């Protein structure tokens, strides 16, 4: 009778290892904290073990536990809402023009959000003389500004909800955040066909004045020409076209999240960045230029 394979032979057969296990085997010594692990991932990228997209998504996953809804929300002033206290004929053209899939519904007052209107629900009643708009509203979900993104994403998945209303510490409406906003922190900006028609909208958003002077929140892809027109600056666009490129050129490397540099009479603070590019910056006038 044939003898069963010896234990020494069976141990020679190595099970298939996942990419993470293979990467872990190459990391020595083993990372002891999050910073060490991220540094190891950057080393893996430099050794061509993972590409820039994979590294960017890994960084995004780590940021999920550090960022809150208030960090990525669309501010209240920029939220498109529908006022159902008005006739449908008055706000329906607005719905068609903005082409969003869902809208916070208010009842007379902008801060009085009573539900979420899905554009697709309107299609079901298209052509009818009277619409029960209140009856077709979906419940609105309210969350605090401090809610962490990893927790928010779990809630979105569990409740099959795509939008949440962000409220401040006093209970006022601070803005909205969508599941797309959260996912973009991992995979980068998700563009759609409507972004092309509205690509310059809200590139530069003026914030409340800081301790030293005026402040702006600026998308990194904002063209320098637009920055000059809005802020009254005179940065050259001969070598680079965008604000992110301006900062990268000044620093001499790809800016990191949290990095700060002074150019001219302005201070640039990198709010969002990954391994591939800068996404959002805050610009503030320097103390000596505040007046």
Q: Do residues 280 and 239 share a domain?
A: yes
Could you tell me if residue 98 is inside a domain?
Answer: yes
- Residue identified by tokens 């927790």 is 151
Count of the separate structural domains present in the chain: 3
Q: What is the pTM of this model?
A: 0.56
Domain boundary among 40, 64, 88: 64
92, 98 Cβ separation under 8 angstroms:
no
Q: Give the model's confidence band at 113: pLDDT under 50 very low, under 70 low, under 90 confident, else very high.
A: very high
The answer for 253, left when phi > 0, alpha when psi is -120 to 50, beta otherwise, is beta
pLDDT tens digits along 128-160: 666 788 888 999 999 999 999 989 999 998 988
More confident residue, 28 or 122: 122
pLDDT above 70: percentage of residues in the chain? 78
pLDDT tens digits along 229-257: 999 999 998 888 999 999 999 998 888 87
Which residues have C-beta within 8 Å of that of residue 249, sequence separation ≥ 6? Answer: 239, 240
Domain boundary among 86, 107, 140: 140
> What average pLDDT does the segment 9-32 reach?
55
Inter-CA distances, 109 with 86, 104, 113, Å: 11, 12, 8
């Amino acid at each position: 009778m044939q003898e069963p394979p010896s234990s020494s032979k069976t141990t020679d057969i190595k099970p298939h290892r996942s990419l993470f296990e293979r990467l872990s085997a190459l990391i020595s010594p083993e990372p002891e904290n999050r910073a060490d692990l991220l540094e190891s991932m950057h080393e893996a990228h430099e050794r061509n073990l993972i590409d820039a997209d994979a590294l960017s998504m890994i960084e995004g996953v780590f940021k999920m536990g550090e960022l809150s809804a208030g960090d990525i929300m669309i501010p209240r002033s920029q939220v498109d809402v529908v006022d159902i206290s008005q006739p449908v004929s008055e706000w329906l053209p607005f719905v068609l023009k903005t082409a969003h899939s869902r809208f916070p519904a208010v009842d007379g007052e902008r801060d009085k959000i009573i539900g979420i209107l899905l554009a697709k629900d309107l299609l079901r009643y298209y052509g009818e003389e009277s619409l029960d708009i209140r009856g077709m509203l979906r419940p609105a979900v309210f969350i605090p500004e401090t809610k962490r993104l990893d927790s928010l994403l779990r809630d979105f998945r569990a409740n099959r909800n795509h939008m949440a209303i962000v409220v401040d510490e006093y209970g006022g409406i601070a803005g909205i955040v969508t599941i797309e906003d959260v996912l973009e922190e991992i995979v980068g900006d998700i563009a759609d066909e409507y972004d092309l028609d509205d690509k310059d909208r809200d590139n530069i958003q003026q914030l409340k004045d800081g301790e030293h002077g005026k402040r702006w929140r600026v998308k990194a892809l904002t063209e320098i020409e637009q920055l000059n027109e809005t802020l009254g600056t005179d940065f050259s666009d001969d070598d680079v076209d965008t604000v992110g490129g301006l900062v990268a050129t000044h620093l001499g490397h790809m800016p990191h999240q949290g990095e700060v540099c002074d150019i001219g009479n302005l201070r640039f603070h990198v709010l969002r960045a990954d391994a591939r590019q800068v996404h959002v910056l805050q610009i503030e006038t320097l103390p000596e230029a505040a007046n």
